Each structure stands twice: as C-alpha cells, then as structure tokens.
Structure 1
Amino acid sequence: MHNVIRVIALFLICLPLHAQDSHKAKHLLDQVSERIKSYQNIVIDFRYSVSNPQENLNQESKGNVALKGNLYVLNFMGVTRIFDGRKVYNIVPEDEEITISTHDDQKADVLTPSKMLTFFNYGYRYSWDILQNLKGRKIQYVKLHPTNPKDKTKEVLIGIDVQTKHIYNLIKIDRDGTKTTFTINSFRPNQPLSKNHFTFTESKYPNYYINRLD
C-alpha cells in the first residue's frame, strides 16, 4: 500500500512538471518561429546525413538553400530546385534535364525547404530535453512526438541556439530505425538577393530537355 501511495504521489508531482516542460518547449519554438518570420530572407549552408544500420544505410551530403517566405532555391546532391510560389523546377545539370510541376501543398513533405524551419508548429507534442555546450554555444534541445499514431516518425529532436534563437540542428528518428540529421553550418539572414533570385529563367538552359508534368 505504501508503494502504491508513493507511485501515485510521484505521478501527481510529475504531472505539473511535465506540463511546465511542455509549455517551456512550446514557448522556445514560438520564439524560433517569430525570429524566422522577422527576416526578409535567409541563406543556409547545411549538412545532411541519413543512416539505418539494419539496412546498411549511411549517407552524408552538403547543400545550401535560400528562403524568402515560401519561396526557395535549393542546391542539393547535384540538383537545383526552385519554387517560385506556383511551380517547382528541378534542374539536373548532369543530365541536362529540367522537370517542371505544379506545387501541391497538400502533398508536400513537411520538411520541404519552405517548411523545414517551421514544420514543428503543428501535429506534435513537445517536451524539454537536454542542454548541450557546443564550442561555446548553448544548444537547448526540444523533443517532438507526432500526435498522429500512423506517422512513420517516432520522434524529432530540435537543437536551438539559446542566444540567437536559431535552429542549430534537427534529428529525426523513424519507427524503422532510420535516423536523419540536418545540421546548419551557417545561417545568414537578410542577404542582398536579386529580385529574380527565385525565378526560373528558361533561356539560361538552351540545350536542356524540359519535362513539363502538367
């Protein structure tokens, strides 16, 4: 009986602590979102890795992306992807091929460039995680669990620079054991980008085969 009472007491004590931690985590993520919204544009250099020991999967790549609202230009794994607000352009120099399709926000992955810094605002439960000191930077981690039980993602860890309120890295762990890590090497807001930076100019690719999907 004493053990049962002790367990109940611990449970009741932990309830408000969990709620407080969840509130802190959400508040920090809200600060990140507000900071991102305050910038006219953002240019990011990043490192991306994916691994799954059971499938003998271990890949790492680097890339960069320029963001302005929901517009983006992504350079990754030899492909340039441009989203101008309506169409998505995939440019593959190696094959001299361009694929053009209409953007469908309902089918888009939550981690597309236009959403990768704010995807966490919906569909997750939040909890406060560890604080790490990385080369003088204090990185506070927030853990996310999908609210949809059918989601293939088990959990997501977001590392946030406490001082700048910028995302340092993102670690996504799937239920099948796949681990995806996105680390921001440089974060440069309000860059002097040209007016047509997010515009696809067909005349720049005179010898390319253009595949229009719709």
Structure 2
Amino acid sequence: MIFKRIAVFTILFSVVISAAKAQNDPKAKAILDGVSKKYKSFSAIKSDFSYVLDNPQENIKSYKQSGMILASPKTNKFHLTIYSGSGATKSVEQEIISDGKTQWTYEKKDNEVQINDADNSSQSLNPAQVFTIYEKGYKYLFTGEVRQQGQVYQQIDLTPVDSKKPFFKVRLLISKAQNRIYSASIYDKNGSRYTYILSSPATNYTGSDSVFGFNKKNYPGAEVVDLR
C-alpha cells in the first residue's frame, strides 16, 4: 500500500517528449525550476511526511500513516520509514531502502527483509524522484492558488506523456512563501489517490551515505529473503 507501496513519491528523449515541452505552462515551469534548484543544492533531502490513501474499489477512505524520508535525487537513493501509532506508541512498521541498484523492504510484523532489484524503469515512481518529478516526460500546468490553514499554495498538475504509466495525474501543492513542495497527490487509473504531505520542511541531510544501504545488524533475528 505504501508508494504503491513505493510506486508513488520517474518521473523525476524522444521526439514525443520534446514536442510535449511546447505545451508546458511557463508559469508552472518557473515555479518548478525554483523548487528544483533549491532541492538540488542539498546533498540529500530529509523530511517527515504523512500519507493518505483513498481507494474506492476497496472501500478505503482517508487511510493515514506517517513516516520519514531521506532521499538523494542525484543518485536515486532513498530510505523510507513508515510508522504505526503516534506519540509515545509510535513504532516502525516498515522500512524501504534503496541504494539505486538494490531495494530492501523490512516488514516488522513478519520480522522479514525482502531483497529486490531497484526498479529504475520509466514506469515506476520512487520517493527520491518526487523532488524533481517534472523534469522528464511530463506536461505541467499551473492551475491556480489554493489556501489551506492560512497558507497559500501554488497548484500544478503534471500529466505523463507516456500513456502506459499506471497513473494519469500528479498534483503538486507548492508553498508560495517557502518555495517548497507541500504535497504530491498521485491519481491512479484504478481510481485510487495517494497523497503525500511533507509535514516538515525538507532539510539538507549531510549524514553518512550508509543510511541508503542495508545493515543486517539493525534487524536482529529478521529473516532475509532474496527475491532477485
């Protein structure tokens, strides 16, 4: 369920894509370029987030979770932590780690780690790419400003040039005052909507790169299943 579970935070040349660029909105591009420039100045990006799933087919409405993301858009690496509970009862439910080549998924309830090849295909989405999502293969359009909880956000809709992608739209809300991504909503072709809200401003992570790799010592007793 997370990032579909992960197929949601490539996004981010063919003649088709080059032609599509002429249809892009200059105002949207100016906003996105500013955001992208900010994030690209970071060594890596760290942020808390909340996740909301709406899936009418499975009668799921506003299913919520929280988590923390570390992402390196330049290297396609990420470390995603999903929590259950809140406050004093909050604990790690799932971790998804990728060094750009290999992906490790830890499920606490099963005390199991699954190893897969990282999916870097054009059909996938991953958390590292949400910060530069528009740069390849998307048309984008500024659709106005919205106000939520006293804040003004610039709304931009992205549509993939490739019709084979499993989603048809990504809607970004960008803080006008802080020039940062506030939320990204992915609209799936099956009717589901996945919304990721960056609940804290993304900061520059300058810690060890080892956070983007798997260390079995951190998961005592866990069964490791290699599915490659």
Bin for the TM-score computed over the shorter chain: 0.7 to 0.9
Percent identity between matched residues is: 28
Cα distance in 2, alignment partners of residues 71 and 142 from structure 1: 25
Q: Which residue in the other structure is 1:39 paired with?
A: 42
Higher relative contact order (CA 8 A, sep 6+): 2
Q: Which residue in the other structure is 1:212 paired with?
A: 226
CA gap 1:22/1:89 in 2 versus in 1, 3 angstroms: same
Residue 116 of structure 1: SS of its match in structure 2? Answer: helix
Root-mean-square deviation (Å): 2.4
CA gap 1:54/1:102 in 2 versus in 1, 3 angstroms: closer
Q: Which residue in the other structure is 1:98 paired with?
A: 113
Paired residues of 1:138 and 1:161 also in contact (CA < 8 A): yes
Q: Which residue in the other structure is 2:78 paired with?
A: 72
TM normalised by structure 1 equals: 0.80
CA gap 1:154/1:192 in 2 versus in 1, 3 angstroms: closer
User: How many aligned residue pairs are there?
Assistant: 195
Q: Which residue in the other structure is 2:13 paired with?
A: none
Q: Which residue in the other structure is 1:14 paired with?
A: none
Q: Which amino acid aligns with 1:25?
A: A
Q: 1:116 aligns with which of 120, 130, 140?
A: 130
Quote the offset at 1:195 in angstroms: 4.5
Residue 210 of structure 2: SS of its match in structure 1? Answer: coil
Cα distance in 2, alignment partners of residues 91 and 55 from structure 1: 25
Residue 36 of structure 1: SS of its match in structure 2? Answer: helix
- The answer as to 2:151 corresponding to 1:137 is yes
Quote the offset at 1:108 in angstroms: 6.2
Quote the offset at 1:139 in angstroms: 0.7
Cα distance in 1, alignment partners of residues 109 and 23 from structure 2: 52
- The answer as to 2:37 corresponding to 1:22 is no
Cα distance in 2, alignment partners of residues 176 and 165 from structure 1: 32
Quote the offset at 1:54 in angstroms: 4.8
Quote the offset at 1:154 in angstroms: 3.1
CA gap 1:86/1:22 in 2 versus in 1, 3 angstroms: same
Q: Which amino acid aligns with 1:31?
A: G
Cα distance in 2, alignment partners of residues 195 and 20 from structure 1: 39
CA gap 1:205/1:172 in 2 versus in 1, 3 angstroms: closer
Residue 28 of structure 2: SS of its match in structure 1? Answer: helix
Structure 1 unaligned residues grouped into runs of 5+: 1-18
Cα distance in 1, alignment partners of residues 104 and 57 from structure 2: 34
Paired residues of 2:79 and 2:95 also in contact (CA < 8 A): yes
Residue 50 of structure 1: SS of its match in structure 2? Answer: strand
CA gap 1:20/1:27 in 2 versus in 1, 3 angstroms: farther
Q: Which residue in the other structure is 2:65 paired with?
A: 61
Larger radius of gyration: 1
Residue 54 of structure 2: SS of its match in structure 1? Answer: strand
Structure 2 unaligned residues grouped into runs of 5+: 1-21, 84-92
